[in-house]
Structure formats: C-alpha cells, structure tokens
Amino acid sequence: MEYRFDCRNSRVMLSLIPRFKQYSDLVFVREKLLNILGHEYLGGFEIDEDSYSILSKSYSYDELNDFLINSDLDYLITIYNKLIPYFNAFLSSRENEVEFSEYERNPHVVEELIFFDKSSSFRELDDLSKESEKFIHKAEDCVFHSQSLSLEPSVKVKDIKIDYPRQDRYNSNLNNPKVLFSDDTIEEIVSSYFNPIDYNKIIDSIKTDYRYNLLSMIKEYNLDIGAMDAKDRVLLLSKSFAETEYKSVGRLLGLYSFDKIKIDDRLPDALIITSIIHELSHCLLERILKEVLMKMLETNDTPLISSFVKILLEDNDLNYLLDEFCAHTVEGRFALYGYQDYSSFNYKLDEISGKYSKDDIDYALIVANTFAYDIKDILEEYIDDDLRDEIKRQYSYISSPPKYEPLDMEIESRFTGNDFIEAISIVLISGFAESISNPQKVKKYMEIYASVI
C-alpha cells in the first residue's frame, strides 16, 4: 500500500501496488488480480488499468480526515488479505505453467474454497509450489463436488446487527429547548457562514460513514456481496446507514422512525427493495438536515437536535410534502419504468393544496428534488448498473401492469450553490413554530432519542 502526494494539484493518492522483480510477472498477475477485483465491491476505489497499481483512490487535501483514511485503509487491508492467496498461487502457477481455467469460469467458487476451511494450513505454507498444488487440488475438487458445497453465508443479511459509531466533532451538545427555540438561534441560522463547500463535505461524510459500516459488516460476517440476491444487497446497503429490519403486521409497506427502518417482508421482492430505498431516503434527508443544523450551530447530535428535525419534517405541511416527494423521487430512480409511485405524496398534496399557493408548493418540490439528486448520488455508488438491472428483473414476478401517469410527477428543476443553502435555511427555520407550539411532543421525542443516540 502506498501514498503518493501530488503537491502541484493538492491531492493524495492511496494505492495497492503489487511488486515484482520481472515486468512479465507483473503483467501476468495483474490480469488475474484485476479479474478478481471485477467481482468485488470497491468502496469508492477505482481499478487502475494503466499504471503499476491495481487499485487506487484520489483525495483532495480538503477531503482528508482520520476517519476517512482509517476506513479506506481497513478496506485495502481486507482486499489485500483476500488477494494474497491468489497472488502467491498465481506466481507459483506461473512457474509451473498451470492454467486456472476453473477460476476464470467461476471466481466465487474458487474464492470460497480458499476461505472454506478456517483451520486449513494452506495460507501457512512457505513453499509456493506446494501452495499452488494445494490450490489446484482444491479447485479441481470443487469441480467434482460443487453441488455438495454450501456457499450460503454464515448469517442471513436480515439478522446482521451493527454498532453505528458516534462522532462528536464539536465542543457543544445543545440539548436545552429554551436555547434552541430562541430568536438568537434563528438569527444564528440566518446569518450562518454555512456554504456549498460545507454541504458537499456533509454528503462526503455520509458516504464515508456508510462505506465504513458496510466494510465492517463484510469483514465481520465474511460476506460475499456478489453472491447475494438483489433484495439482500439493498438490505445490506440500508443497514450501512440505519438499523433495518422486517415487519409482518399492518398495512404500511414500510416506515422510518427514530433511526430505524422497518419493511414488510410479505411484499414481493421488487416492492421490498423499493420500499427499503423509499424509507432509506427519509432517513438520509433527515440525516442531511441534522448535519447541516449541527454545523450551523456547532453542536453535536443530541436528543433535542434529532427531535427538532423529526418534528419539522412531520408536522410542517410543506416540509412533509417535501420529504415525501424526495423519497418517492429517489425510489422511482431504481424502480422499473412504469412502476414509479407517488401515492403518499399525492395524498398529502390533496390534503393541503387549498392552504398553500402553487408557488409555495413548487418551491418545496424543487428543494425536494435537489435533496433527491444528492441522495441518489449517495446510493448509486453502491447500486450500480448491474444491481439496477437485477432490481428491474424482479418486476417480472409482479402481475400488476405498469402505470405511466406517475412519471408526469418527475421534475428536473433543482437549486444550486447558495440558492440551495438559502432554501435549507428556510426549511430549518420553518420548523420552529411546530416545535415551540408542542413542547410535550418535543419532550416525548427527546426521551425516545435519549435511548437511541
């Protein structure tokens, strides 16, 4: 592993580089290792086709922080540990002119064999020739006995638990309603120096956190994402952001509340997937607003901060509408064409349309679409084209025909730069009235969050 500093462009490159005495060995092994990496989740790294490194990631100086570097180093160590048996075996096969045709046909099967027997001395052998022979023997044995080997993970994705690390970045822990719900705080939000760069750092921080959580689960439970079906892959993604579990009662397809997502497991897989994405979008919008407020007020997350953001999205009509439109828009990005759904948004719109002007509603929708754009960007790092295709295939099991009218709800308009920052400030300030007028609800929510945060 190597760091390279580009002082001219103020960037740092973290790379995984195989070292060889002969260039021919580099060419031979690079091809094999890159083929393996093509089946792996890359955690923000990129496969490097045109240099000596095989995997790399570039950072600007502004992006660097201890949490990000530790997270990415943990990822590289995980990849290193996964590649080293292949690395040694490929080198030995080079010496013995062995072809790894079975790996070329089914990399997941061979990978499973290497790690299948945890007591095996395979990786402890010093003699590369013996190591290669043992590798080949296991690969050949796999071809004969492949039907008898269980490649199921040791734990089901739905049963995976994770401790979400808490990061306190500020010196203050604002938890006094009288201080938060004051004219001074409103003025602090209005006059804040919060800017688009700060906002982008929040989005990057959210990506870093989920990568760390995802890689922690992969490492702890020895997971193979490539062997999972689409539903489990999306469920694992959701667990990287918030506690996510299945439910089996009630009419709601799913719900998000108090940092927990619940999805009805009686739904078809396609609807389970889009329901997870819908509720995860609610979670991420709440997270973004909370992080912005924390930055503006320079306070860590507290039961009061979480309660305030939850109430401003629940009890303010336009913010509720914004929240639903955002979630439906993100969900619709990953649904099959013609299966977009804006039902809960339309229900709320019908309820409040007589109370607000068209301009107010349109403004809320543009703000929502801007948030949706950033949330889609976060999710598309993981939900790539291949996974999207798998999700779309799940709709072949749904008997209901597509409906194209909801596609008319989609919009392209969104805010940029300081206009969006101003819009976020308006959203935050608009939620004060609901919290101030309902102190009992604030108190109740604070008590619940006290046991969660």
Residues 118 and 259 in one domain: no
Residues 340 and 193 in one domain: yes
Residue 40 three-state SS: coil
Domain span including residue 226: 157-450
Residue range 282-295, pLDDT digits in tens: 999 999 999 999 99
- Alpha-helical (H) ranges within 253-316 are 269-297, 303-315
Is 80 exceeded by the pLDDT of residue 142? no
Residues 90 and 218 in one domain: no
Residue range 1-32, pLDDT digits in tens: 776 776 667 777 777 777 666 666 666 676 77
Residues 171 and 250 in one domain: yes
Residues 109 and 175 in one domain: no
How many whole angstroms separate alpha carbon 271 and alpha carbon 101?
39
Is 50 exceeded by the pLDDT of residue 118? no
Could you say which of 113, 148, 183 is where a domain stops?
A: 148
Q: Cα dist. 140→44, 100, 112, 135, 281 in Å?
A: 34, 10, 13, 9, 46
Residue range 363-381, pLDDT digits in tens: 999 999 999 999 999 999 9
Could you say which of 117, 148, 179 is where a domain stops?
A: 148
Is 50 exceeded by the pLDDT of residue 125? no
**With pLDDT > 90 as the criterion, what percentage of the chain qualifies?**
62
Residues 243 and 183 in one domain: yes
Residues 400 and 332 in one domain: yes
Residue 52: pLDDT band with limits 50, 70, 90: low
Average pLDDT, the chain: 83
Residues 81 and 171 in one domain: no
- Rg of the chain over Cα atoms, rounded to whole angstroms, equals 25
**Pairwise pLDDT comparison (225 vs 151), residue with the higher score:** 225
Token pair belonging to 38: 């093509």
Total number of domains constituting the chain = 2
Residues 135 and 234 in one domain: no
Residues 231 and 338 in one domain: yes
How many whole angstroms separate alpha carbon 33 and alpha carbon 127?
21
pTM above 0.75, yes or no: no
Residue 150: pLDDT band with limits 50, 70, 90: very low
How many whole angstroms separate alpha carbon 358 and alpha carbon 92?
71
Residues 144 and 88 in one domain: yes
Residues 97 and 197 in one domain: no
Terminal Cα-to-Cα distance of the chain (whole angstroms): 36
Could you say which of 148, 169, 194 is where a domain stops?
A: 148
Q: Which of 95-104, 332-341, 434-443 has the lowest mean pLDDT?
A: 95-104
Q: Output the pLDDT for position 12.
A: 76
Q: Cα dist. 444→242, 291, 304, 369, 432 in Å?
A: 21, 22, 10, 31, 17
